[in-house]
A = this chain, B = another copy of it.
């Protein structure tokens, strides 16, 4: 068990960065749903590399090929399988990683876990490339959610120390969700973020950030208690994205510094709908939605693949030796991870709503 997620909607992600293909099986998606291929491909494009100066220069088509589950573009109830071919791989770049595992990559623990049989090329099954498969599932779920009146959107909340304007926790709507491949609410902040990325890139370094995600239109009463609540399942899904190091709902870690009287969200009746004046709870209490916007943030670490020389163990020699990670790498994966977080959120919400 490992790369299978979900209850009523089960997704099973497969592939390695340099295998013939990556892909996903989506089992339990409703029958009779007309898939908008263009919208899906547009969503995929938000995650795709090569979108801008700051992402990896690799050109991957990320063309989604459906092997089954659709008849004339409409889901037929059978499991949907989509594959994306790996066309632009240069395996030669990764040879030395057998000896010298890259710092803060999964290379070393995976080597122990799989007794040396792991596919080390491009990170294998642990590559960020696998999130393309998650995005296929998420893209379909977003389309389904839209029909149910639920919209999911995320933005780059911070890169390094540069912060975007956060979503308005109480009033955010789907119209506030930024589009495009560098999703920010405040364009000026976006410029400063780009500068921060460029600064890292020019040093052969990388930089981390924060992504904020919201779902609006989710009715109250969605979720389950204890281990199957929204927080439980969203976090289980989101940590499936490599480089995520933390997640917080509503005001999250800030709540730890507050008094109850400051943190509590009091209810009122807004023309027949129960709402709260504030939304410190991020739209979820006890695992169940309250009808307020669902809000969470995730921490994305700086890409561990950096051009800068590092001093790290060579397991063959037993010595700490210099390592320069070759290959083509993003100086910042946060912009591309925005779509992945939306995808993970969409898969989870879809599973509840089915």
Contacts and interface: CB of A to CB of B under 8 A. Distances in A.
Most buried by B among A12, A235, A237: A12
Contact of A12 (B10, B104, B205): B10
B68 A15 contact: yes
A77 B249 contact: no
Contacts of A66: 20
B225 A126 contact: yes
A334 B240 CA distance: 29
A75 B4 CA distance: 18
Q: How many copies does the complex hold?
A: 4
Interface residues of A, number: 145
Given A227-B240, A246-B248, A255 B208 contact: yes
Interface in A298-317: 299-306, 308, 310-313, 315
A192 interface: no
A302 B290 CA distance: 19
A141 to B, nearest CB: 15
Contacts of A4: 4, 10, 12, 27, 227
Interface string A119-135: 10100111000100000
A125 to B, nearest CB: 3
Given A203-B259, A229-B239, A245-B253, 10 more contacts: A1-B28, A12-B25, A31-B117, A108-B220, A205-B259, A227-B237, A253-B253, A256-B299, A260-B308, A266-B310
23 contacts: A1-B7, A1-B224, A2-B287, A15-B67, A15-B79, A15-B81, A20-B68, A32-B114, A77-B118, A103-B267, A109-B221, A113-B222, A126-B225, A158-B257, A160-B257, A160-B258, A210-B256, A232-B239, A233-B236, A246-B246, A255-B300, A256-B301, A264-B304
Interface of A: 1-5, 7-8, 10, 12-16, 19-23, 25, 27-28, 31-32, 66-69, 71, 74-81, 83, 101, 103-106, 108-110, 112-119, 121, 124-126, 130, 158, 160-161, 200, 203, 205-210, 219-229, 231-233, 235-237, 239-240, 242, 244-269, 274, 276, 280-282, 284-291, 299-306, 308, 310-313, 315, 318-320
Top-5 shortest CB links A-B: A106-B286, A246-B248, A112-B221, A78-B125, A206-B260
